[in-house]
Amino acid sequence: RSSDLAGVADGSGADVRAADSLRASCVKFLEIVVLCFSNRALPGAGGGGQLGAARMKREANTANDFCLEDLPPGHPIITRESLEEIGEHCFSTLRGLVMLGGQAAIDESLLKAPTAAADSMGGTNPFASILGIIKPAALAYLAIESAAEKAGADSEDKNAFVLDRKSIQLDFCLSQKSYSLSINAVQMLATKRPVFFKDSAYNLARRTIDPPGGKSGEAEGSLSRAAVTGIRTALRSTCLTLLRNFMSVTSGSWEVLTAALKAADMEAQAERALKASKQQLNLMRGGRAARNRAAIFYEWDTSADDSRAAKRQRETDSALEHARAAKMARGLGSGIQLPASMVEASELVMLNLENLPPKRPPVGSSGQRKRRVDLDFVVDAVVSNGASLAADQNHWYDRNGGEAWSMEEGEAVADGRKRLKFTVNAQVLEVAEKSMSRSELKGAEKVFAEQARLAATNAFSRVLQASSNTRSDAVADFSKKMAARLAWTLKNVDPSKEIDASYTMAIEATENAIKKNEADLSGSLDFAKAYPLVASCLAYDLTPKTTASSQQRDESTSSSSSTAASTSLAMRILNEAYVCSLNEDKDSYEKCLEVFVSTVVNACDSSNSKPGDNEAKRIANSAASSLPHLLGAAPALTATALNLVGSLCDIGEISRKASAKSSKQTIAESAALHAAKTAAEKRATAALLILRDVCFQRDALRGAAIDCAVAIATGRMPGSPSIEDKALKLVMNVIFPKNSDCSDKVVASATKELEYAARYSVEKHDEIAKANEEAKRRKEPVRQSPKFALQPLSEEEKIAMDKVRKPVVLSMALCVRKPELIKAIMETGCREKADVLAKAVKSNMPKLTRAASTKYGAANIAKRVAEMASEKETPLLLSFLDNLAPVTDKTLPSDELIDACFEIQRNRPDSKGDLDASYIVPILSGMKRDALVQKLSDFVKGGDEMFKVSLRRMSERLGRYALIFRDEPDPSEPTLRGMSSCEQMVYLHRLDFQKVGIPQKRYLDAIRLCLEDEEVFNDRVVQATLDYISGKFLEGESLPLAYLRTIILVLSKHESLHSWICHVLLPRLVEGKIYEDKRQWEGWMRCAKMLEGGKDSGVSSLEAIQKLPEDKLAIYRAKYPKK
């Protein structure tokens, strides 16, 4: 592209900018190639001490810094050596751009060198095209660099570099933008790749000593004065940066860098930079004491910054720390948690007494009775973070709710304990009785009832929160028991704002489950709305918690799921629901269980839809890991709940997102998607394990669990391909072999799935038929091959076949263990309008026949399947037999299979009592040729399609004998099997159609069908057939009736045989005195007439005509006069 870019530079301003942008992109590309095709460390380097080793390890872990060390070994062509060669050439090209300010002119001989080298090796180098671009440019600069170093060798300065720029021709010059990019690229490679540091330093230093614009800094070439100034500044700053690096000392390049900076009047800066690099190197090589002293120095140096902003920041940080410390000491903030020990709790309360406000909060009326300040009062104030001190005068239960109950102490008994008697206020009891009886409430009673409900809501919220906030397991368990009992008692009581998110999630989860599942869950939704507190408890552990203590308790609970399942809040709710279902509401437990499983599924779906939400992922993983233990401990399960569990396998969307590759995705987004996919697969696997456990442990639900697992395996319930494969293995390898009951239920479930597939095929029949017709009209007609006969014709048919294929595959896998299931496959596959299912069965039939014949024997399984199949199922039976015969060239159908097919043919005559030749078509390749000759008439009678299939079967293992008529080694004992294409044509011509009862028209049509199949019976096969029959004619055999008719048909189809017929076949027939047979003589004359007029093209039958006897020639000329 260099010459093209040079031409563009003389064009308009837009063209110049475009050329410059293209060069800048090429420079950036060279930088990336060198970075990737090079090593991070010097070969054999030790890393420069512990600090250097740590630094190299840290750089090696950078995800975006790919290099040759990351390339896996073992590829025979893409080796590190070949890639390293490309990287070195690219680096040389970059150095040339910096040193020359453009691309040196490339010799044309260098352009041919890579190709010649590849050819000399006897093969093509896969990198030849890349080397053909990069290597010539690198070699051009290296030649210039070598000459400059030789010219400077005579000087006293060992770093002298004498470059005669006037004698150098450039293909193009760099602009300021591309020049700056080249300088930055060389600097970056020096710091990132130590192997290039020395060469980069020398390159930049030499260019700094001999900068663009010379000593005066004038404009040079296409560079303006301002551009030259910018480039010179970039060179100086780059040299200063490299000099500060410790590798300038280790590589010995500090001398040339210092010299370059001195030449640029930057001697003082150079000395400081060199001092810093040496100090850095000493620290890297020094011991721990030296590094500690350096750290102390840096700390003192940092503390010297007494600027106003830094001082203000320190004051702010200190104030925040003091405020947090005071808050923690007072037990405020999020409140305090009392220790489990009563002594420690008392001490903590006493320490916080001084933090209480000096005055009580004002009350609305002075007549109100004040609460006594006792230990309970203080404990409530401390634990509730002062909330108990702010009494709401609008809430009766906050103002004087304690008056609802009164306590009386009785006399002491023998052990010193006193009996306590609790009495409820008469007015409160009256209002409560009216509320229970649903009587009409008036005035204050109505207000009291409403506030009683609100009080119940707040009290329940406090109890529920105590189960997650406390650090005592005993208190948490007691709170869960109390919350579970209260939730079922407080019907139609709305949750408080603290747990409203849990209630909302439960409702949304149930609604989503109704949309996704076929089962009717409307009753569960009504149940969740009737018992809001129960629904809130079921979803409480699946909603994010705001306090740290609750999150810690969730994490500790999730770490021991098996032990915590029986004591979880959801388990308590389910136990209460089971007790209620035994007494009153019979369906309450089932609805409660369905709501709970719906919330778990919804939490997992939420995690799948938000891959970057770590809190959602944590909740979903915790819920999925505890679900197997919780359902294992549940009193009972339902089929609907199992179907909801199965919906956890619906991870197709997250799998597609993780598998899709998009340039817009960042590395973090891609990693989050893959992590979410992995977590979703683990949860789906856990769901399959739940179905397995239910199948093995709960006999009543074994059928429902197997139905769900089979539905996932067959794709009726959505799931990713990997999960469907796991479900299939679970059904076939784990559940089916367990016992006879499991195997029977698996077979029953597979049969149901076949029924679903059959109904689906029937429903889609008309739509698919219409789509197939449209596809046929759009596409060009092609020859129908048995190989492609089962391929879908349209997109609609492809989708349908993919849907019904999975239940077919599962059923066929079961057929290997239970062959009687083949009957169900044939029944459903042959159902009216179930064409798609039949196609899917036929396309997967080879797998079934291969496995069944291996286990039971081909002949045995053929007989068993034939006994099962009815007359309507004959097409699938024929497909089974067709796939049962081996398809390899070295393996022929066994004699037992041949006998079995003949037995099946005898046992299944048609409606007229005739034997159907279709049953023996699969084993024709294994039959002896003399038997095939006797059966040939049956295939001619059977119709065009069966006739073609039989011919293909006879010759399918004799491809190399297609042009040969084989002779029996011992005619008395025939051994040849099958029938080649040439033999088929010969025996078809010799067929005595009158004797076997075949009409002459059908006999001639059979020969015509063979000639029309030019793919099998091509011109060479036809020539071999005609040649063999004519040779036998010379030996004394009579010609078949259709022989001359075949020659006439061949003349119209195969022009390539005209010459052979004229000069070989027709004279041979004259030699055999064909004119003695009147019918054959008529055909010969007609063939001769058809070819007589082509003497101009060199193909004429005139030579054969001249060989006729005079009388016969006269007869021919009398009928066909010469023009």
Instruction: Please state, in angstroms and rounded to a whole number, the distance separating the CA atoms of residues 763 and 752.
Output: 17
Q: Of 103, 97, 104, 92, nearest to 207 (Cα)?
A: 97
pLDDT grade for 442, boundaries at 50, 70 and 90: low
State pLDDT tens for residues 478-496: 888 888 888 888 888 888 8
Query: DSSP label at 220?
Result: B
Query: DSSP label at 387?
Result: G
- Residue 3 in this model has a pLDDT that exceeds 50: no
Contact between 783 and 701 under an 8 Å Cβ cutoff? The reply is: no
What pLDDT was estimated at residue 461?
A: 83
The whole-number average pLDDT for the span 1035-1057 is 89
What pLDDT was estimated at residue 333?
A: 41
- Residue 1025 in this model has a pLDDT that exceeds 90: yes
The whole-number average pLDDT for the span 685-697 is 91
What pLDDT was estimated at residue 983?
A: 92
Instruction: Please state, in angstroms and rounded to a whole number, the distance separating the CA atoms of residues 363 and 365.
Output: 6
Tell which wins on pLDDT, 156 or 274: 274
Looking up tokens 């007359």 gives 871
Contact between 604 and 620 under an 8 Å Cβ cutoff? The reply is: yes
What pLDDT was estimated at residue 1094?
A: 65
The whole-number average pLDDT for the span 652-659 is 82
- Residue 1024 in this model has a pLDDT that exceeds 90: yes
Joined tokens for residue 1045 = 């008719």
The whole-number average pLDDT for the span 1060-1087 is 89
Instruction: Please state, in angstroms and rounded to a whole number, the distance separating the CA atoms of residues 982 and 966.
Output: 9
Contact between 807 and 836 under an 8 Å Cβ cutoff? The reply is: no
Residue 718 vs residues 605, 724, 904: alpha-carbon distances, Å: 13, 9, 42
What pLDDT was estimated at residue 953?
A: 86
What pLDDT was estimated at residue 610?
A: 84
Beta bridge partners of 405: 424
Q: Of 888, 902, 910, 965, nearest to 935 (Cα)?
A: 902
Cβ-based neighbours of 772, under 8 Å, separated by 6 or more: 793, 794, 797
What pLDDT was estimated at residue 715?
A: 87
Instruction: Please state, in angstroms and rounded to a whole number, the distance separating the CA atoms of residues 773 and 792.
Output: 12
Contact between 723 and 681 under an 8 Å Cβ cutoff? The reply is: yes
What pLDDT was estimated at residue 1006?
A: 92
- Residue 39 in this model has a pLDDT that exceeds 70: yes
Beta bridge partners of 421: 408
State pLDDT tens for residues 147-177: 888 877 777 676 778 787 878 888 888 888 8
The whole-number average pLDDT for the span 835-843 is 87
pLDDT grade for 435, boundaries at 50, 70 and 90: low
pTM higher than 0.85, yes or no?
Answer: no
- Residue 320 in this model has a pLDDT that exceeds 50: yes
Tell which wins on pLDDT, 377 or 1048: 1048
What pLDDT was estimated at residue 359?
A: 62
Q: Of 996, 952, 1009, 1003, nearest to 978 (Cα)?
A: 952
What pLDDT was estimated at residue 503?
A: 87
What pLDDT was estimated at residue 782?
A: 47
- Residue 223 in this model has a pLDDT that exceeds 70: yes
Please state which of the ranges 550-564, 618-632, 945-959, 969-983 shows the lowest mean pLDDT. Answer: 550-564
What pLDDT was estimated at residue 330?
A: 47
Rounded CA Rg of the chain: 47
Cβ-based neighbours of 517, under 8 Å, separated by 6 or more: 640, 643, 644, 647
Instruction: Please state, in angstroms and rounded to a whole number, the distance separating the CA atoms of residues 1123 and 1116.
Output: 13
State pLDDT tens for residues 225-245: 888 888 888 889 999 999 998
State pLDDT tens for residues 770-810: 888 888 887 655 445 555 677 888 888 888 888 888 888 88
Contact between 691 and 709 under an 8 Å Cβ cutoff? The reply is: yes
pLDDT grade for 82, boundaries at 50, 70 and 90: confident
The whole-number average pLDDT for the span 881-891 is 75
pLDDT grade for 360, boundaries at 50, 70 and 90: low
- Residue 407 in this model has a pLDDT that exceeds 50: yes
Instruction: Please state, in angstroms and rounded to a whole number, the distance separating the CA atoms of residues 1075 and 1079.
Output: 9
What pLDDT was estimated at residue 44?
A: 44
Query: DSSP label at 869?
Result: -
What pLDDT was estimated at residue 559?
A: 42
Contact between 461 and 446 under an 8 Å Cβ cutoff? The reply is: no
Contact between 790 and 801 under an 8 Å Cβ cutoff? The reply is: no
- Residue 365 in this model has a pLDDT that exceeds 50: no
Joined tokens for residue 270 = 């150079």
Mean pLDDT computed over every residue of the chain:
79
